[in-house]
């Protein structure tokens, strides 16, 4: 089971010099040692309301598995999905 | 001395349409009023232990008539009744029963009590009545045996030597002996509670609190045994009006007293409204609550989240319960509209579930 966050809450993500996530903060808890399981891009709706997102599926040392994305248009990090 | 009554409904045995339309268990339930020992031998055949009923109900013909009358309240089908000392004799008597006139709904035949009298009564009956294989029957005929009396009169050792165990069994039957006991069916368990009001409370709504208490009491008793009811029956005794009964069958065992009470109350209010029309609501003198069809609730836990193919009724029931428990606007259904959409939030949309 996964929980999909349709409203995409804002999260804090620290990145390295290449823009890759290394640490994220969820609900007041900091999860370090982030590993990237997968990454992909979504570019859509360029003709009306453009969407440009860099997606990362992350796993942390404490076992959190989630999907976050970097909204390139707004310049914000968002949480999309948490896996059980 | 044991006396068994066999009831045979030929229509239930031969007509699949009638057999599927009639609730055979309900017919047997009716016989519970006559005797606690009832066996459903087969579809359309029942055995009832009527030992010792004579002093209260009269002779055996009357006892059989009483049984037939009870069952005909459920299904008015033609029936053959027979009484004997054991199950073989009782069923054989029912087979031999012939109605006194062609249109009579019931026929009765009884073998006398006691081994000697039985052998005498059976002596002239044809061997074809025995439940034997055709080959065995043919061999018996080759020996010139045509009646039960002839087979019964042979030495047991000689029959055993010629026909083996099967022959010995048939000879015992021909002598009217059958050691197989009646195996009473397990009566469906039911829990009953009751609350009386002195003076009567106003209307159906006034009994709601007592109903909740009754539901909670029965649920507590069942919870301790890890059981849940599959059906609830509520009976209201009204002041100056006929009693009102509501039956609520659950698609799956339910052990939530508040929910059961609420559902019963809703049905009850509907029934009371339909009955009284514009008349004033009568007072309620007593309520009786029965839980039955008890079973283990554990296997049905989280039914909402298991595959529900062709079980929409059960799912709807589960959703209704969840709605009642958590309130409106808490249940949503995800519908995959665009599974190929690049953004997950556009693949599916949520619609509120209306249970």
pLDDT tens digit sequence for B93-111 = 999 999 888 888 899 999 9
Instruction: List CB contacts (< 8 A) between B335 and chain A.
Output: none
Residue B68's pLDDT is: 92
* Min Cα–Cα distance to chain B from A42, Å: 7
H helices present in B175-230, as ranges: 208-224
CB contact under 8 A, B342 and A6: no
At residue A5, the pLDDT reads 85
Give the pLDDT of residue B355. Answer: 54
Task: Tell me if chain B has a CB within 8 Å of the CB of A4.
Answer: yes
Please tell me the predicted confidence (pLDDT) of residue B321: 73
Any B CB within 8 A of A1 CB: no
Chain B contacts of A80, Cβ < 8 Å? 344
Nearest-CA distance from A6 to chain B in Å?
Answer: 6
Residue B302 has a pLDDT of 45
pTM: 0.49
The angle subtended at Cα B72 by Cα B130 and Cα B193, nearest 5°, is: 115
**Interface mutation target, options A3, A44, A57, A79, chain B, most CBs of B under 10 Å:** A44
The stretches in chain B having pLDDT less than 50 are 299-303
In the prediction, which pLDDT does B303 show?
A: 47
The mean-pLDDT minimum among A6-10, A58-62, B343-347 falls in B343-347
Is residue B204 within 8 Å of B245, Cβ to Cβ?
A: no
- Tell me how far apart the alpha carbons of residues B157 and B167 are, in angstroms, rounded to a whole number: 10
Residue whose entry in the numeric block shows the structure tokens 């620290």: A14
Residue A32 C-alpha, separation from nearest chain B C-alpha, in angstroms: 26
Given an 8 Å threshold on Cβ–Cβ distance, is B344 in contact with A80? yes
**Chain B CB contacts of A6 below 8 Å:** 345, 350
Report the complex ipTM: 0.74
Condensed to tens digits (0 to 9), the pLDDT of residues B183-199 reads 888 766 888 999 998 88
Q: Percent of chain B having pLDDT more than 70?
A: 92
User: Are the beta carbons of B345 and A4 separated by less than 8 Å?
Assistant: yes
Burial class, B214, CB count within 10 angstroms (exposed 0-12 / middle 13-18 / buried 19+): buried
Closest-approach residue (CA) in chain A for B347: A6
Q: Which residue has the tokens 């054991």?
A: B86
Contacts of B343 in chain A (CB under 8 A): 42, 44, 51, 53
- Rounded (to 5) percent helix, strand, coil in chain B: 45, 20, 35
């Amino acid at each position: 089971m996964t929980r999909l966050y349709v409203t995409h809450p804002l999260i804090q993500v620290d990145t390295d010099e290449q823009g890759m996530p290394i640490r994220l903060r969820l609900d007041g808890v900091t999860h370090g040692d982030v590993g990237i399981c997968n990454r992909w891009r979504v570019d859509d709706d360029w003709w009306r309301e453009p969407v440009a997102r860099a997606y990362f599926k992350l796993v942390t040392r404490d076992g959190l598995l989630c999907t976050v994305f970097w909204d390139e248009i707004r310049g914000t990090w968002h949480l999309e999905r948490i896996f059980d | 001395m044991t006396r068994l009554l066999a009831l045979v409904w030929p229509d239930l045995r031969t007509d699949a349409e009638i057999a599927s339309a009639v609730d055979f268990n309900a017919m047997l339930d009716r016989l519970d009023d006559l005797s606690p020992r009832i066996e459903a031998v087969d579809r359309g055949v029942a055995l009832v232990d009527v030992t010792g009923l004579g002093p209260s109900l009269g002779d055996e013909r009357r006892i059989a008539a009483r049984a037939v009358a009870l069952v005909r309240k459920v299904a008015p089908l033609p029936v053959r009744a027979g009484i004997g000392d054991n199950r073989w004799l009782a069923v054989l008597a029912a087979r031999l029963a012939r109605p006194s006139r062609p249109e009579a709904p019931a026929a009765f035949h009884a073998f006398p009590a006691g081994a000697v009298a039985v052998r005498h009564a059976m002596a002239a009956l044809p061997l074809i009545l025995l439940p034997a294989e055709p080959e065995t029957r043919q061999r018996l005929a080759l020996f010139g045996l045509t009646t039960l009396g002839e087979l019964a009169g042979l030495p047991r050792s000689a029959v055993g030597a010629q026909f083996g165990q099967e022959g010995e069994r048939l000879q015992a039957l021909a002598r009217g002996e059958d050691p197989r006991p009646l195996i009473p069916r397990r009566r469906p368990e039911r829990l009953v509670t009751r609350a009386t009001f002195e003076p009567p409370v106003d209307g159906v709504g006034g009994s709601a609190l007592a109903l909740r208490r009754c539901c909670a009491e029965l649920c507590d008793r069942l919870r301790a045994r890890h059981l849940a009811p599959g059906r609830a029956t509520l009976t209201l005794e009204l002041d100056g009006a006929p009693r009102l009964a509501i039956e609520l069958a659950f698609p799956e065992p339910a052990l939530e007293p508040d929910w059961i009470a609420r559902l019963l109350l809703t049905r009850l209010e509907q029934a009371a409204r339909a009955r009284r029309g514009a008349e004033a609501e009568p007072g309620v003198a007593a309520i009786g609550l029965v839980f039955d069809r008890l079973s283990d609730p554990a296997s049905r836990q989280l039914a909402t989240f298991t595959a529900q193919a062709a079980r929409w009724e059960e799912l709807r029931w589960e959703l209704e319960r969840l709605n009642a428990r958590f309130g409106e606007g808490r249940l949503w259904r995800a519908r995959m509209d665009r599974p190929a959409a690049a953004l997950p939030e556009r693949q599916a949309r949520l619609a509120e579930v209306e249970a």
